Structures are given as C-alpha cells and as structure tokens.
Structure 1
Amino acid sequence: MTFPASSALSGPCGPAGDRTGPARKEMVDRLEDDGVLTDPRLREALVRLRLDVLLPHAYVRTSEPGIEPIQWHLLDGSHPEDRQEWLDLVHSGESVLLQRDGEPLEALGRGPVTGGHMTSMSTYLPATVEALQTLRPAPRKNYLELGPGPGVSLALAALVTGHGYATGIERDASMAAFAQQNLDRLALGATVAQGDALDGHVPAAPYDLMHSGIGVPRVPCAWVEQLAPGGRLLTTLTTRTPSWPGQLLVTRTPAGSIEAVLQGRPRGYRPLHGYRWLTAVTLRPRIAAEPGRPRATRLAPLPDDAYGFWIAAAYLAPGLVRDFQAKTMTVVAPEDESWAVADSDGATVRTHGPRDVWAELEEVHARWVRAGRPSLYRVEIPAADGPQHVTSGTGPDALTWTLPAGSGTPQPRRSPSTPDVKEAL
C-alpha cells in the first residue's frame, strides 16, 4: 500500500518528533489480540496514524452521572503535567471527549471546567475498526464520512483509499476547521467540508463507500442517491432508546437496485443533532425505593447478545430504556413513570406504574420466537423518499415495522430536565 509522502512526515504518518510509536503498536496489538482487527490494510494504517495529532486535548468527566452541572477536567496534550494521562487516554481505544456545546476549539484552557455537554468526540476505536472492516476500504475507492468529528475514521480511510479519495461533511464549523487543520498536518489529502451530513456531499459524489458517524431514525434519501453502483453505506439506525442500537448496511447492486440489512449491535453512533434519547438516570432513586409488585414470569432475562430480540423491542415496545448500571435487569419507560426490575432468580419480576413494561417485552419475545428468532432484518428503501419498511421475512409470523417519516428529532413528552443525547446511558 502506498502512503502519501511529505516533508512534514517522519517515519509514521505525522509531524516530525513522534514518540508515540510504541503506544500505537501496543494499541494495535491489543485490537488484534481481542479479535477486533483483522484487515491488514487497516492494521498498517492504525500503526502509522498519529492519533495524538488528531486528538490534541481531551475532556475527562470528574462528576458522577446524573449530577448537574457536570464537572470536567480538560487535559492539554502539550502540557507536561497532562501529557502522560492524555497519551494513555488517546491510545486506550476509548472515546475521547473534545467539545462542549459546540464551543470554539482554538484556545481551550486546561484544568477544571464546570457545566456543558459533549457535542463532539472520537468514536470508541473498536467500533471504528469494525465499521471500516465492514465497508472494506481499498485503494482508489471514493469515501464519504458523514459527521467525521475530529476525523479519526476519515484519516484511516484516507490512508487506505489514497490521497484525494476521502471526504468528510461536518455540521459544526469549528469542528470542521479543527479536523481539517489536523488532517493537513498529517498530509493525508483528506477534505472536511462544512455542511449538513443529512444532505450528503454532492460535489464529490457518487461514493463507493459511505460511513455515517451519526445515528439516524431512517436513511436520508440523499445518501442513497449519492451511493455508486456496487457501493456500500453503513449507518446506525437510532430510536428513542440508547440501549439497543441497530446497524444498517445498505448496498447498491451493480444493476442499481438497493438492498439493506439491519441487525442489532452492542453499540452504535449517537443520534443526529437535536435528537433526544430517553434516560433512566433521573428515576433511579424512585426505582430503588419502589421496585414494584412481584409477579412470576416465564421470560427469564435474555442475554445482552440476543441482538435480534433487543432491536425488535426497540421498535415494537417503543419508549423503553435499560439501566445497565442496575444490579439486575431493569427496563424503564421514563415518560410513563413505569419500570420492570427482574429478580436474580430469573423467575420473578417486579413491575411499577401504569405501563406493564415486562408484559410488553414478553409479548415481543413471543412474536420474535414465532418469527424464528431472527437476527437480521431486511429494510425496503424506495427510490423516492417514501416509507421505509423493516421485515424479518415472509409469512404471517414475520416481524414488521415502519421507520419514522422525516429525519425526526423527537423531544420528551414530560420532564424538561430530561438529559439529552450527550448524557445518555
């Protein structure tokens, strides 16, 4: 594979004076040992990419979830007192928090910071690797990153596709300029344009590969229109719950028709700007004090990796969110002040409120079993901007639903203090 040459480079991709090579090698070895990283092109790109250039600072949350205002500490990678903690975080593979409330990024001050919510961050690195390996980038493939943030996945794609083949479209002007400046320091030939990712980016279309760094309730028509024959598009389909995300792979066949497959995943990208997730955080004290009345159940809590069931529940029992910090499985309908708490014996559940949350899950599970326990769902995406239907198959027992119309930015019905997407569980 050929990488761009530049007088600014010294060894691995990035400015001269690089001392992060061992940390990158350790990070890559860890991804391989965990079975996440298998693509040799992507491995070479990860070994070379200077993450410290793309992520020159990092916010660390110092207050507990649910506490307002949030307390942060800003690590400045250029400051001697912060450098080691910052380098460890940048190469940990965890998400790196970069921007509060769309703030300008030119002159952030290190140290304690009070208030605000994160509006941009890097993605959990194993998720980035999995997404790119699903798309299978290759030299001279035209690539579009929808919502690139600081540009980590865009930079990796650029290293594989080559100079001038990777483009990002970023809503936040400050983040777009920040990412472009850092990408230019790496001399990758990647471009970040400022604009609405939901519109795609017509000037460089059509695209062989499209990756969305934001979750969307349905596939924007513009994305499908800009997908080249033989091209692949990967995005998160988001619902009101952050608990059970779905990953959608859209393919345009060489003949021009569209095929799309949805599957549940352990994680997904955060929703588009303005979209509000549900949260169980504010109800935790009440749930602890009033777990509910016990009743028997034949639905023992399903494992977390029963993704086919959980993604169906996100749509067929809407308005639910799971509290993953609870000792036993706890599923909450925040807007209805209802919840279900499964006991550790697996045979008893406690329910509270006007909505019988567990009964709804029991019903979805019964339907899922009758449908053959599907793990994959087909999504019908019409050529025009019409209804997008999801189905597990054919026959009277198939699970079906329709994705919401429009881009969709639902707001909570009840409490104006409900935390938004940036503080989801």
Structure 2
Amino acid sequence: MAAHAPQSATEDLARRARAALVREIDRSGAFAADPVWREAFEAVPRHLFVPFYYVGAAGAAGTDGFERVWSEDPDPRARDDWLRGAYEDAPLATRVRAGELVSSSSQPSLMARMLAELDVRDGHHVLEIGAGTGYNAALLAHRLGDSRVTTIDLDAEITEAARRHLARAGHHPHVVTGDGARGVPERAPFDRIVATCTLTTIPPAWLPQCAPGARILAPLATGLIALRVRSPGCAEGTFLHTPAYFVPLRGGTTPAPRPDRLGGLPRRAQGEDLLRFLLTLTAGRLDPQDAYTLWEREGRPERERYGVTVGDGPARAWLDDPRGPYVWPLA
C-alpha cells in the first residue's frame, strides 16, 4: 500500500474543508434559529464518522450500482476526494445492502436546521432515533455533554460503528441497540426526541418517556413534524416549511405506501412537491384525485398548514385545524 499523506496535511485539509462547510451552512440560514450550533459544527469533524461512503456508479463491480469511497484508498488523490466529499453539504450513503440504502449521514445543513428547531437548552436530555454514523449524536454531545445524549438503532453493526466513530471523536454518549419505535424507557424521561429516519406515525411508546413540555421532531411523509407534549400521553404540533427525505425507520412501523397512482392527475400537478407531500401524508386514507381536488381548493397549502395530534385517540393528521374539517388517521 502506498504511503499516506502526512497526518498534518490531512488535518489541514480537513480543517479547511470543515470551515468551508460551516460557511455554507451559515449561508443557508440553518444557524439563524440557534447560532450556538455553529460552534458544534466547527468542533466536530464529520470525516471521522464517514471513514467510507458510497457514491452512485452504475455497473460498479460487486456494489449493486454503488462505488465505495474510503479513507484507506492507496491512491492519495482518491483519499483527498474522500475527505473533500465528507465535507460537502450533501447526504452520504454509508450502508448499502443488496443495492438498497439502509443508513446514511444526513445533509449537514438539514441536520443543523433540525438541531436548531429542536430547541435544545442546557441540561436537557435528548433521545435520538436512528444512530446512523454517530455524527448527529456527537453534535448533541458537544452541546449538552455525553451523559445527556442517548441514541438508538436497530442494527448492531450500525451501533457498533457509531460507538467507534464517537470514541475516535472523543465522545461517549449512550448508544443503544434496539427498536427505536419502543424508545429507551430506562433512560427516560427525555426533554427532546429527534428522529433521523422517516416515520409513518408517532410511536405511542415515546410519549410516556417524555418530560412535561418535551418537544419531538421527526420526519413524517416528506416533511418535519414538530410536536409539543402538552399533557401526559398527548402531543400536538405542525410541520416545518422544510422538506425532508430520510431512510425509513425499521422495526416497529411499516413503510407508508408510495403515492405512485398519479396517472389520472393533471401532468402539471404530478411533479408538485407539496401535492406529493399530501399524498404521502394521507396514503391509504385519501384517494389521489380527492387529494388533488382538496389541494387545489385550499390554495395549494404549504407544509406548515398541516399538523399532527397524538394521544386522545388514534394519531391523526390535519389541515389548519385539529378539530376539522380535514382530518385523517395516520398509519
């Protein structure tokens, strides 16, 4: 194997790439809600959490259409490409099985926006659903301290790798292997729960594990729902404006049906992101043509006009008012 570049040169490139990423996140406005997160992104080195990742490469041998980029490549130019790619403001595929993406490192600017919207305060205890590479847990641990952060993933291979990455970065939060839909009751109560995987509903097991006034932020449909726990066993809130696409939660929930029955809708509407959001949110509950009619009649609503109520009966989504007239049960 060829000799690697001097460590100081690698560290210098990493520092410059990380600084450029922080500037890009800053320009996106993601730090505006809580500028303290800028310090976390400056301090936590993303490349330590993605020693390898995959890029699309049709026909790549043995990888089902993906090519691995890694830190130990014998070609120094390839290693530099790996390092620069680790600091692009883009999601990175980190686990691929039989051609299917099962885990990734999310787009940093979206991570920053979600962390800011989580409204974390000093002393809070946070549960993260979906450990991934451990990068998001490291950002939380930098802000709150290791003992106040718990992250869970169903896949032991993923949690073991996350522990290694976190330790290499100097962090030791609680990493649990288990079904995220069940939460981590032995570590409760939590002031904040954040999911980094797409849900079809809000798992009922989470609410008893929340402290009074807790906030839950999770990808649902193709958006981000922000819920406030208003009373024991009950939470309610609206979607953020931001679109969000994540790997589905594996374990306690089933993937939502894809809104792919668009053939009968006007062609100009078939590519509309906000209509697809409504179709995904109401999949199996609302006929696509009825959804399209509602969407047009209500002025093509933005995501933030939709909300979710959990507890006090089955979980449900709604438009404008949780009391109706537009209310749909979640999966």
Relative to the length of structure 2, the TM-score reads 0.82
- Paired residue for 2:120? 137
Q: Which amino acid aligns with 1:18?
A: E
SS at 1:118's partner residue?
strand
2:326 alignment partner in structure 1? 399
Distance in 2, matches of 1:30 and 1:374, equals 25
Cα distance in structure 2, aligned partners of 1:381 and 1:169 = 22
Q: Is the Cα contact below 8 Å between 1:252 and 1:259 reproduced in 2?
A: yes
Compute the displacement of 1:206 (Å). 0.6
Partner residue in 1 for 2:5? none
Distance between the aligned counterparts of 1:60 and 1:300, measured in 2?
A: 31
1:381 corresponds in structure 2 to 310
Q: Call closer, same or farther: CA 1:170–1:248 in 2, change over 3 Å.
A: same
Q: 1:257 to 1:189 in 2, by over 3 A?
A: same
Q: Which residue of 136, 139, 143 maps to 1:160?
A: 143
Question: What is the DSSP-based 3-state SS (H/G/I as helix, E as strand, rest coil) of the residue aligned with 2:146?
Answer: coil
Change (3 A) 1:129 1:160: same
- 1:76 aligns to 2:67 (yes or no): no
Q: What residue identity is the alignment partner of 1:311?
A: F
- The answer to whether residue 278 in structure 2 is matched with residue 312 in structure 1 is yes
1:100 aligns with 2:100: no
Cα distance change, pair 121–316 in 1 and its aligned pair in 2 (3 A): closer
**Aligned to 2:68, what secondary structure does the other structure show?**
strand
Secondary structure in 1 matching 2:124: coil
Q: CA deviation at 1:196?
A: 0.6
Q: What aligned pairs does 1:223-302 form with structure 2 within 5 A after superposition?
A: 223-238=206-221, 245-253=222-230, 258-263=235-240, 265-273=242-250, 275=255, 278=258, 301=269
Distance 2:291 2:218 in 1: 26
How many residue pairs get matched?
315
The corresponding residue for 2:178 is 195
TM-superposed CA distance for 1:197, in Å, is 0.4
Q: CA deviation at 1:53?
A: 0.9
Q: CA deviation at 1:268?
A: 3.0
Within 2, Cα distance between the matches of 1:181 and 1:49?
A: 15
| Secondary structure of residue in 1 paired with 2:192 | strand
The counterpart of 2:298, out of the listed 368, 374, 398, is 368
Decide whether aligned partners of structure 1 residues 319 and 78 sit closer, same or farther in structure 2, where only a CA change above 3 A counts.
Answer: farther
Distance 1:151 1:392 in 2: 35
- Residue 249 of structure 1 deviates from its aligned partner by 1.1
C-alpha distance after superposition, 1:372-396 (max 9, x if no partner): 888423322115xx41122224599
Structure 1 residue 361: Cα displacement: 5.1
Instruction: For structure 1, list consecutive stretches of 5 or more residues without a partner in the other structure.
Output: 1-14, 102-114, 239-244, 321-354, 405-425
* Superposed displacement of residue 178, structure 1: 0.5
Larger Rg: 1
Structure with more of its chain in helix, by fraction: 2
**RMSD across aligned positions (CA):** 3.5
Residues 151, 174 of structure 2: 8 Å contact kept: yes
Q: What stretches of structure 2 of length at least 5 have no aligned partner?
A: 1-7
Counterpart Cα distance in 2 of 1:374 and 1:236: 12
Tell me how far apart the structure 2 counterparts of residues 252 and 279 of structure 1 sit (CA, whole Å). Answer: 30
Pair 395,78 (structure 1): closer, same or farther in 2 beyond 3 Å? closer
Q: Deviations over 1:298-330 (max 9, x none)?
A: x9649957x4x553333457599xxxxxxxxxx
- Distance in 1 (CA, whole Å) between partners of 2:325 and 2:49 is 46
- Are 2:17 and 1:26 aligned? no
How far apart, CA to CA, are the structure 2 residues paired with 1:399 and 1:152? 39
- Give the 4+ runs in structure 1 shifted more than 6 A: 371-374
What do the CA deviations read for 1:115-159 (whole angstroms, capped 9, x no partner)? 532211111112111110100223321011111211111111111
Do the aligned partners of residues 400 and 156 (structure 1) sit closer, same or farther apart at CA in structure 2, a change above 3 Å counting? Answer: same
State the shift of 1:50 in Å: 1.2
Q: Name 1:146's counterpart in structure 2.
A: 129
- Write the letter of the residue equivalent to 2:309: E
Per-residue CA deviations over 1:187-227 (Å, capped at 9, x if unaligned) read 22312111110110112111111101111111111111111
Q: Is the 8 A contact 1:264 1:311 kept in 2?
A: no
After superposition, give the CA deviation of every residue in 1:83-139 in whole Å (9 maximum; x if it has no partner).
1111121100211111122xxxxxxxxxxxxx5322111111121111101002233
1:174 equivalent in alignment to 2:157:
yes
Alignment CA distance shift 1:72-1:127 (3 Å): same
